[in-house]
Amino acid sequence: MIEIKNISKTFHQEKQSFKALDEVSLNIEQGDIVGIIGFSGAGKSTLIRSVNLLEKPDQGQIIINGKDLTTLNNRELARERKKIGMIFQHFNLLSSRTVFDNVALPLELDNTSKSEIAEKVNQLLKVVGLEDKAKDYPKSLSGGQKQRVAIARALANDPYLLLCDEATSALDPVTTQSILQLLKDINQRLKITILLITHEMDVIKAICNHVAVIDKGKLIAKGTLEEIVSNKENPIIKQFIIPKTATIPQSLSSQLQPELSVGLFPLLEIELNGQISFEQLLSVVHSDYKIPYKLFSAEVEYLGKSNFGKLFLSLQGGSDENEKVIQYFNQNNIQNTIKGYV
Ligand SMILES: Nc1ncnc2c1ncn2[C@@H]1O[C@H](COP(=O)(O)OP(=O)(O)OP(=O)(O)O)[C@@H](O)[C@H]1O
């Protein structure tokens, strides 16, 4: 069990000071995958770096298996750190070393014998799927392959905990998913606890069992994804769970009229905020109110048992019928705005 207990950290720069962490507490169970999500500057990196004391907190404790890391001397801390692996957004590989030698580095520093190093590195390269790249240099690898090397290196000392500092932020979506699946596989096969920080809900959704939300240095929510999502009225949480990319298609926005006239229908922007499912909403319009509609654009995110998102829908009934549907939306707290008439 890892206990982050009441951690605070203030940075001082010239005459200014900035509180990056404010009494943060979080318990992480062994074998769990925990994600900390927050906007840029929220304090994510400072928090994850506090766990292995790369950043020394001003107050609070990091208790791992009953041992408070903040009370250890440098030698004891170095010994504990060996059992905490870490990977970074920009991989931090040594460009002058081959893939094999990058992975071997922590073992060399630990005075491991050459034969043991060879056995361990080859086994780790197999775990991350890079057996055929042992002799290559980082510059010839893709971003995803570089992160695989970094993961193998982080596993060299058989850690019980892996810290992931925005490990997929520099990768494309497909590579991101493959790295996340590798992390999940490592968690399950090697029983390594994972703590990651991210600004992307997709990362949390893909692999985390528990989530904490950090904002302005404070943990504002923690729990399972479903528990976090149920707190959707919180404006910070809302920004993470409601996709913002659905927009009115370009071709449609040029046709949009500000006033209703004959032959035009209202175009509604509807926010799905967990109150009603996407399918139910369309069924209300089509089956209950028996109104034809045109769906122009929709982005729906399924989180836990709820769905969130935005859709642009034109109600194509008579104006009284359309009005009744809008009334239904209003009575049921389904946020909707008429963007114009098409
Ligand atoms: N060494 C430092 N000296 C001064 N201020 C710092 C230092 N490190 C971090 N900060 C400040 O602390 C705040 C939190 O930074 P941190 O890097 O932890 O945030 P973050 O959530 O990881 O952001 P990002 O996603 O942009 O990396 C920021 O305002 C940052 O400028």
Question: In sequence order, what are the residues at sequence separation of 6 or more whose Cβ sits closer than 8 angstroms to the Cβ of residue 255?
Answer: 342
**Mutation probe of ligand 1 site: the residue of 12, 14, 18 with most atoms within 8 A of C-beta:** 18
Structure confidence at residue 158 (pLDDT) = 96
Structure confidence at residue 254 (pLDDT) = 86
Which of 78, 47, 84 lies closest to 65 in space, CA to CA? 84
Which protein residue's CA is at the shortest distance from atom 27 of ligand 1? Answer: 40
Ligand 1, CB within 6 Å, residue ranges: 11, 13, 18, 20, 38, 40-46, 199
Asked if pLDDT for residue 86 goes beyond 90, the answer is: yes
Find where tokens 């504002």 sit.
220
Q: What is the CATH number of domain 250-341?
A: 3.30.70.260
- For residue 166, CA distances in Å to 31, 103, 214, 266, 326 come to 20, 20, 14, 43, 42
Structure tokens at 257: 């009229």
Q: Which atom of ligand 1 is nearest to the CA of 13?
A: 4
Asked if pLDDT for residue 252 goes beyond 90, the answer is: no
Query: Model-level pTM?
Result: 0.84
219 CA distance to ligand 1 centroid (A)? 15
Which protein residue's CA is at the shortest distance from atom 6 of ligand 1? Answer: 11
Q: What is the rounded CA–CA span in Å between residue 330 and residue 267?
A: 16
For the chain, give every residue range classified as CATH 3.30.70.260: 250-341
ipTM entry:
0.96
Structure confidence at residue 244 (pLDDT) = 65
For the chain, give every residue range classified as CATH 3.40.50.300: 2-236
Q: Which atom of ligand 1 is nearest to the CA of 42?
A: 21
- For residue 51, CA distances in Å to 73, 214, 235, 236 come to 16, 15, 28, 24
Q: What homologous superfamily does CATH list for 2-236?
A: P-loop containing nucleotide triphosphate hydrolases (3.40.50.300)
Structure confidence at residue 306 (pLDDT) = 80
46 CA distance to ligand 1 centroid (A)? 6
197 CA distance to ligand 1 centroid (A)? 13
Which of 215, 196, 231 lies closest to 36 in space, CA to CA? 196
256 CA distance to ligand 1 centroid (A)? 44
Q: What is the rounded CA–CA span in Å between residue 120 and residue 135?
A: 15
